[in-house]
Amino acid sequence: MLASAAIAVYGSFLAYIFPFWAILLMVFISCFCMTAAYNIMNVLIVDLYYTTPATAMAANNLVRCFLGAGTTAAANPLINAIGTQWTYLAVSGVLVAVTSLLLLVYFKGWNWRRGQAESLLPSVTCRYPSQAWIQPGSTLDVQDTGPRPEIGTVGLDCNTRYLILSLDLDVVFPGTGIQTVILHWYQSNFTFDCSRDGNLKVLKPGEDDGSSHTAPYIAPQPPPGTNHRYIFLLFNQPQSYGFPECFAHIPPQTKDARSGFDIREFMLAAGLDPPVAINYFYGRRKPSHEKQPMPSSSVTKTYFKSLDCQVTASAM
């Protein structure tokens, strides 16, 4: 709006004789306001298309060049046709119209961004009793992760059943240099109530009919003075889902039963598509005063259980 006013004032007083400094001041104000308006428009466009900022800025520059060339080509014929003052007033009027349009886009764009935030991509989170919902990459003291966590989701279909896996990715057998993955939790038949208010929906496990082979939750147990990554994977559960019998050894809450868990093998055997949402946290255990085995200097091998599983077709 300031740019429009500056151009209108400049055009209105062209017929009068003013000191050079006054003319220079009006030109400066006009140029300053137009540059500011352009930069604001650039920021607005990037804000609306924040996933591709370079493309948005390049498109804005291209449009600006075309508009500048078109205005330059039309200015002289307009001056000859309607006079200098009316030409400047016409340009000012166009700027007012464009500014109004930009204001509309700004407010509509803000509402669009807010709508995007309210319709987030599918996500999963969890929380332990008396704790906040976990953000990806948070660090938790393992003393606070003993009970089974509550699972919350955003942006998922309430008419679908879900399956969850929780894994420790950083287990190293003491003194061996062999790294493995330990399954901390497996449970199927999760659902949530669509009628509840709010974006965050809490998943509830379905009734165990005896055929789901639930692997009860094991609390994080990293060695003293270490941090392990604990990951939660949420899958769409196929309608004809059947637990892969080659993994029938996982229910006991023992190291032998849960170590060497091969997530890829499980997905192929269970016919699962890639997870719809993932979350993780770092489990921290404070150093102990008791003497601990010296950790291996480096990981030299990765261990997974060798299972004879049949591949089940996924829904993809």
The pLDDT of 243-271, averaged and rounded, is 94
Judgement on whether residues 198 and 247 belong to the same structural domain of the protein: yes
Flag whether 309 is in a domain. Answer: no
pTM: 0.61
pLDDT at 59: 81
Judgement on whether residues 87 and 217 belong to the same structural domain of the protein: no
User: How many distinct structural domains can be found in the chain?
Assistant: 2
Question: Which whole-number Å values give the CA distances from 260 to 101, 126, 196, in the listed order?
Answer: 60, 24, 39
Share of the chain above pLDDT 90, in %: 38
The pair of three-digit structure tokens given for residue 172, joined into one six-digit string: 């190293």
Cα dihedral: 173, 176, 178, 179 (round 10): 40
Task: Report the distance separating Cα 109 and Cα 47, nearest Å.
Answer: 9
pLDDT at 259 over 90: yes
Most confident among 11-15, 61-65, 110-114 (mean pLDDT): 61-65
For the ranges 110-119, 178-187, 260-269, the lowest mean pLDDT is seen at 110-119
The pLDDT of 193-208, averaged and rounded, is 76
Judgement on whether residues 210 and 230 belong to the same structural domain of the protein: yes
Judgement on whether residues 184 and 212 belong to the same structural domain of the protein: yes
pLDDT at 134: 93
pLDDT at 183: 97
pLDDT at 286: 84
Judgement on whether residues 182 and 272 belong to the same structural domain of the protein: yes
Quick one: pLDDT band at residue 207, thresholds 50, 70, 90?
low
Instruction: Tell me the Cα Rg of the chain.
Output: 32
Q: What is the CATH number of the domain that holds 205?
A: 3.90.280.10
Flag whether 15 is in a domain. Answer: yes
Judgement on whether residues 97 and 140 belong to the same structural domain of the protein: no
Residue-wise pLDDT for 45-97, tens only, equals: 777 777 777 887 888 788 778 877 877 788 778 878 888 778 877 877 887 88
Furthest-apart CA atoms within the chain: distance in Å:
96
Judgement on whether residues 184 and 285 belong to the same structural domain of the protein: yes
More confident residue, 107 or 128: 128
Judgement on whether residues 129 and 74 belong to the same structural domain of the protein: no
Judgement on whether residues 82 and 143 belong to the same structural domain of the protein: no
Residue-wise pLDDT for 142-193, tens only, equals: 999 999 999 999 888 888 999 999 999 999 988 888 999 999 999 999 998 7
Share of the chain above pLDDT 70, in %: 84
CA atoms within 13 A on the CB side of 280: 13
pLDDT at 115: 63
pLDDT at 211: 55
Q: How high is the mean pLDDT of the chain? A: 83
Judgement on whether residues 85 and 174 belong to the same structural domain of the protein: no
pLDDT at 127: 94
pLDDT at 138: 94
Tokens 């004032």 sit at which residue?
Answer: 9
pLDDT at 216: 94
pLDDT at 201: 85
The pLDDT of 214-227, averaged and rounded, is 92
Domain span holding position 102? 2-118
Quick one: pLDDT band at residue 253, thresholds 50, 70, 90?
very high
pLDDT at 295: 53
Quick one: pLDDT band at residue 117, thresholds 50, 70, 90?
low
